[in-house]
Amino acid sequence: MGRIVELQHPLVAHHLKELRDKNTSPWVFRDQIRRLTVFLAHEATGTLPLQGDTVETPLTTTDCETLGCRVGLVPILRAGLGMCPAVLDLLPQAEVWHLGFYRDETTFSPVEYYRKFSDSPPDVALVLDPMLATGGSACEGIGMVKNWGVKKIALLCIIAAPEGMAKVSDTHPDIDIFTCSIDERLNDKAYIVPGLGDAGDRMFNTL
């Protein structure tokens, strides 16, 4: 059974406040997405496997450890792109692959418009999507990553609605979900309440 991890940290609460504020500028919004993603990535990578290695220090040879797996980042376009730089700061050797969905405003269902995977899947995939609302895009994306052949997958989102969490957990019960906040609910337009608006529009200044 996958884990649901809602971060409990004073700095997460502090940065979320500015992210939610409707008056926050796009460039500050992007900075806050990056900062919060660092916390999520720290939690999500805590069980990555290690393998032994040795290095020459200025004084001697010593045993060390290094990552023992390939890690792929899968941002869900377009808003997921804003989470990539923070994870790459921690995992500069990670691969970056892409999935693109837009939301049908009548049915609220995801419509795929882009997919870029390789013939050789990584060992671990971190699916990046700032907002887990209905869970439709996340479920579709996770399913595609599974079909690609990835064995270990985690979903990282800045905020999540209970409805989206339930859908992902029901559809993919083996997936770990990491979020900074589980919000109250979805409204009748399937937006997260209290939420933070449209993350992609706020991030890329396209309101």
Task: Determine contact, residues 144/116, Cβ cutoff 8 Å.
Answer: no
Per the structure block, which two tokens stand in for 14?
């502090």
Question: Where in the sequence numbering do the catalytic residues fall?
Answer: 103, 107, 198, 201
Backbone angles phi, psi at 139, to 5 degrees: -65, -45
Which of 174, 196, 170 shows the shortest CA–CA distance to 183? 196
Backbone angles phi, psi at 8, to 5 degrees: -125, 95
Question: 3-class secondary structure for 18-33?
Answer: HHHCCCCCHHHHHHHH
In terms of phi and psi (left: phi > 0; alpha: psi -120 to 50; beta: otherwise), the region of 203 is alpha
Task: Determine contact, residues 7/39, Cβ cutoff 8 Å.
Answer: yes
Q: How far is CA 175 from CA 142, 156, 178, in A?
A: 9, 11, 10
